[in-house]
Amino acid sequence: MAVLPTPRPSPRSPTTALLFGLLIILGTVGVYSWYVSRQVAGLRQLQTDLTDRNRRDSLQLLRIQDDLNQIGLAMRDMLDSDQRYPLIAWSAQFARHRDALEDALARQGELTAARRTPEQARYLTSAFTQFWDAVDRIFDLARAGREEEARTQIRVSLQARQAALSTAVARLLVQNNEAEADTAARVQAIYDDVQRQVYWLLAGTLGAIAGTSVYLIRSNRRLFAELASLSNARRDIAQRLMATREATLREISRELHDDLGQLLTAMGAMLGRAARQAPPDSPLRAELREIGGIAQTMLENVRGLSQSLHPSTLEELGLESTIHWYLSTVRKGLGLEVTYERLGTAMPVDATSGIQVYRVLQEALTNVARHGNTRRADVRLRFAGTWLELEVEDHGRGFDHESVARGLGLVTMRERAELLGGSIDFRTPPGGGTVVHLRVPLTQATHNERERSPMTA
């Protein structure tokens, strides 16, 4: 009893792993894109909040510093001994500087409210308040006619306060410059961090792609190996089935030819003797002869069936003689008119290859009779060096490609061609119809035949 091979588990499909890898890649790209977007948005906000604010703040501080310098020049002129203008004449100029400074301080305070400590804000406001109180007292003294005392206050108090304010504003300008430098460093750090993250993203993405590609390659190799193994197993099974089929047909053919044929031959001989022993005018003699004719017809049919199942001429006379015999029966069996042409120098073909070529010829002519919608066909047998080529051509309605792909007979012909290490193709000639072209190697078969039959040479 034959032991069936244990079925191997089907290989796991890589689709799930590939989808999982794709999701990881997409998720990583999405997360890093979100992170980079956040970093860029934070950088833009930092530039807006710090760089632009520092620049506008510096402009206001320069404006304040310029006003303080102009006040300093005005106080120097007020103390000039060569030009003794009344001090009250400078009140309008100080009023304009006061309005400009208060506006600049208000704007500068709005720009630096988030960065200035409460102590710094109180100090600057208090210093300017004290400065303007001192200015008001000086002008009050000037209105009261006490100009020398007012000039003394300018020399002693007001110039010192103006210098302190200029120093404070200069210090704020230095802080702004330091803040701008710090902002530039932070911006550069963010750029460097974003660049590193992009590199990490690129490296991670490339690594994921490389890992997925390696996994896909390995999975494909495994699947192709499985397919090759299944193909080899299928080819081996097909070869065994064909060999078993041919052995069975050969055995049935021999049984029909030897046993049943001998019985029918003996029956015909017995009927002939019985007919000769009957009286010449006896009805029995005529019936015996009729029965003998039927037995002879049956014997011829059995021999034809035996040859059709497995032609004995293939082992005895070779492939070409078998093809001649078969084509002589095609008109009666299939209703086809077949023209035959042999090209090249004939070479011996071993029985194993010959039976496969013969079966392809049988199947091709059967397809012409059944589906070709024609009653004519051309058969060409060509010996081309180390190759044997068989062509069966008809000019019928041809075939469609779906029938070529799914037809059992066509699949069997392909299997026979692969069994011999050859190829077979089906094409439509320019005039319509179908051409079946079989091409099989002949060298090994010929060498084997010559080794088994030295007398052939």
* Locus of tokens 């460093």: 185
- Express each pLDDT in 345-358 by its tens digit: 878 888 778 888 88
Q: Are 347 and 442 in contact (CB under 8 A)?
A: yes
Confidence of residue 446 (pLDDT cuts 50, 70, 90): very low
Confidence of residue 6 (pLDDT cuts 50, 70, 90): very low
Q: Give the residue, 49 or 10, on which the prediction is more confident.
A: 49
Q: Give the residue, 449 or 330, on which the prediction is more confident.
A: 330
Angle at 109 between CA 104 and CA 112, to 5 degrees: 125
Neighbour tally for 223: CB within 10 Å: 14
Please say if the pLDDT value at position 442 is more than 50: yes
Nearest to 165 by CA among 77, 88, 98, 224: 98
pLDDT at 321: 82
Q: Are 349 and 318 in contact (CB under 8 A)?
A: yes
- Express each pLDDT in 242-284 by its tens digit: 777 777 777 777 776 667 777 777 777 787 777 777 777 777 7
pLDDT at 407: 59
Nearest to 241 by CA among 407, 404, 412: 412
Domain 317-456 fold is Heat Shock Protein 90 (3.30.565)
Concatenating the DSSP letter of every residue in 203-253 gives HHHHHHHHHHHHHHHHHHHHHHHHHHHHHHHHHHHHHHHHHHHHHHHHHHH
Please say if the pLDDT value at position 2 is more than 50: no
Nearest to 351 by CA among 322, 331, 326: 322
d(CA 68, CA 433): 108
Pull the structure tokens for residue 232. 């080899």
Mean pLDDT, residues 311-322: 77
Q: Give the residue, 146 or 190, on which the prediction is more confident.
A: 146
User: 52-56, 71-75, 152-156, 210-214 — which is least confidently predicted?
Assistant: 52-56
Please say if the pLDDT value at position 339 is more than 50: yes
Nearest to 260 by CA among 317, 288, 213, 301: 301
Single pTM value for the model: 0.50
Nearest to 187 by CA among 70, 76, 47, 87: 47
Residue ranges of alpha helices (H) inside 47-117 are 53-78, 91-111
- Express each pLDDT in 359-417 by its tens digit: 888 888 888 888 878 888 889 998 888 888 898 988 877 665 555 445 567 888 888 88
Please say if the pLDDT value at position 175 is more than 70: yes
Mean pLDDT, residues 228-251: 76
Confidence of residue 49 (pLDDT cuts 50, 70, 90): low
d(CA 51, CA 181): 9
d(CA 285, CA 148): 181
> Alpha carbon 343 to chain centroid distance?
48
Residue type, 216: L
What phi-psi label fits residue 388: left (phi over 0), alpha (psi between -120 and 50 degrees) or beta?
beta
Q: Are 307 and 339 in contact (CB under 8 A)?
A: no
- Express each pLDDT in 9-41 by its tens digit: 555 666 776 677 777 777 777 777 777 777 777
pLDDT at 207: 81
- Express each pLDDT in 119-159 by its tens digit: 766 777 788 888 888 888 888 888 888 888 888 888 888 88
Q: What is the mean pLDDT of the chain?
A: 77
Mean pLDDT, residues 281-293: 77
Q: Are 435 and 392 in contact (CB under 8 A)?
A: yes
Angle at 366 between CA 327 and CA 339, to 5 degrees: 35
d(CA 417, CA 47): 77
DSSP structure class, residue 89: G
Q: Are 361 and 348 in contact (CB under 8 A)?
A: no
Residue ranges of alpha helices (H) inside 255-312 are 261-277, 283-309
